[in-house]
Amino acid sequence: MNVFDYLDRRGEDSFAQIPPGAVDGLILSLLSYIPFGGLVPAGLEGAVPLERAARQWLALPGDCAGRVRCGEDRRLLRKLAGTPRFARMELACAAGRFDPEEESQFAALAILTGDGSAFLSFRGTDNTLVGWKEDFNMSFLEVVPAQKAAAEYVRKFCQRFPGPLTLGGHSKGGNLAACAAAMAPARCRDRVRTVYSFDGPGFSSALLSRPGYWEMLTRLKTFIPQSSVVGLLLAREEPYTVVYSDRAGLLQHDPYSWQVKGDGFLCLEEVTLGSRLVDRTLKDWLAGLTPEQREETVDALFSLLASGGADRLDQALRPQHLAAALPALPPEVQATLARSLGGLLRSGLRAVRGGGRGGGPPMQDTASQPLYTDLRRV
């Protein structure tokens, strides 16, 4: 069962009948991926029923160019519009910013759930190289522009909306939700009930040192699939819950592959051995680089990806594009990429020898038996 099966089973039940939980949080987090454009107002005034916004958006010519999971997003919106649990919710405060010069990609959406509270949904990384570059910039910047934008979005929303709040997002959106809560004014943090991060990356040491992060720690609910890579990047102090995905490897980042049991997720005891090895490799590699070296590496990588005018990840990763672009790079950029790749390989070997823990005997892969946990109670 996935989120679509959950909607088939629980779509008739209101939040009053079945209180919202983590699966509902994932569904609402995914809404921010849909580019509603002018169909949803930028403020609270004139908030649009989800059912109407969905009908109008689905009537537009379907354009999936440059978007990931476009087909699934359309299916989700169609289902939400036909389920009493979600159809009468209202959408408002649509915000978006895309700035190649600033290397920033940000979008958010407020969902008024009908019980006097609101869910603030933050979009994850899109298919643009600008969005992906900002993600990589998190490895050497204390705060990236999208995190600042998310914090400002929450601050302004708190000024206009008096009720309790839930924040959430998938991928980078989960990171933005957590950062926004941690960076928000205390009077606003007090009204945040829960923050959901669905396979969102971790945080800089500067963010982890903020009192706001520690204040939100017990309200921060983090979920990752069993072979997570994105969700284990950087550092975090909050515990995470492992969700079973029916896909393999990096494809588990797709939230539509996450499995549901009852009113919560189908959970596992821990991530796979492969996930732990990748996590150890990346952390070991980054620990050996200064912030300046990390920046140099990221700039070199995206010089390669963006060469020839590519501006989307799917374009940049085509083998023929990379084969043509690499020899054309300046020698110093090629040297930076070679050094980085060598360091990454050495970190990988150390992780394998240490069983993913930097030493000791190899680990046993125990992430095979599901724990049937109802995460509405987490």
pLDDT tens, residue by residue, 7-46: 999 999 999 899 999 999 999 999 999 999 899 999 999 9
Q: What is the residue-averaged pLDDT of the chain? A: 90
Between 3.40.50, 1.10.10, 3.30.300, 3.30.1330, what CATH number should domain 3-276+367-377 receive?
A: 3.40.50
pLDDT at 61: 80
Give every CB contact of residue 316 below 8 A, 6+ residues apart in sequence.
129, 305, 306, 310, 322
> How sure is the predictor about 331, in pLDDT bands with cuts at 50, 70 and 90?
very high
Report the DSSP beta bridge partners of residue 165. Answer: 118, 192
Whether the pLDDT of residue 298 is over 50: the answer is yes
Tokens 């979600």 belong to 86
Q: Which two tokens stand for residue 369?
A: 């038996």
> How sure is the predictor about 341, in pLDDT bands with cuts at 50, 70 and 90?
very high
Residue intervals of the chain classified under CATH 3.40.50 are 3-276+367-377
Whether the pLDDT of residue 293 is over 90: the answer is yes
| 240-243 and 260-261 strand pairing | unpaired
Whether the pLDDT of residue 356 is over 70: the answer is no
State the maximum Cα–Cα separation within the chain, in Å, rounded to a whole number.
64
Whether the pLDDT of residue 374 is over 50: the answer is no
pLDDT tens, residue by residue, 110-130: 999 999 999 999 999 988 999
- Average pLDDT on 84-107 reads 95
Tokens 């921010």 belong to 32
Q: How far apart are CA 245 and CA 13, in angstroms?
A: 25
pLDDT at 70: 81
> Is the distance from CB of 296 to CB of 336 less than 8 angstroms?
yes
> Is the distance from CB of 157 to CB of 121 less than 8 angstroms?
no
pLDDT at 302: 94
> How sure is the predictor about 357, in pLDDT bands with cuts at 50, 70 and 90?
low
Whether the pLDDT of residue 257 is over 90: the answer is yes
Start-to-end CA distance of the chain, whole Å, equals 20
pLDDT tens, residue by residue, 129-175: 999 999 999 999 999 999 999 999 999 999 999 999 999 999 999 99
- Average pLDDT on 68-79 reads 88
pLDDT at 359: 37
pLDDT at 145: 96
pLDDT at 69: 77
Q: How far apart are CA 319 and CA 328, in angstroms?
A: 15
- Per-residue burial over 171-197, b if 16 or more Cβ lie within 10 Å, else e, is bbbbbbbbbbbbbbeeebbebbebbbb
pLDDT at 37: 85
Q: How far apart are CA 77 and CA 55, in angstroms?
A: 9
The phi-psi region of residue 46 (left if phi > 0; otherwise alpha if psi is between -120 and 50; otherwise beta) is left
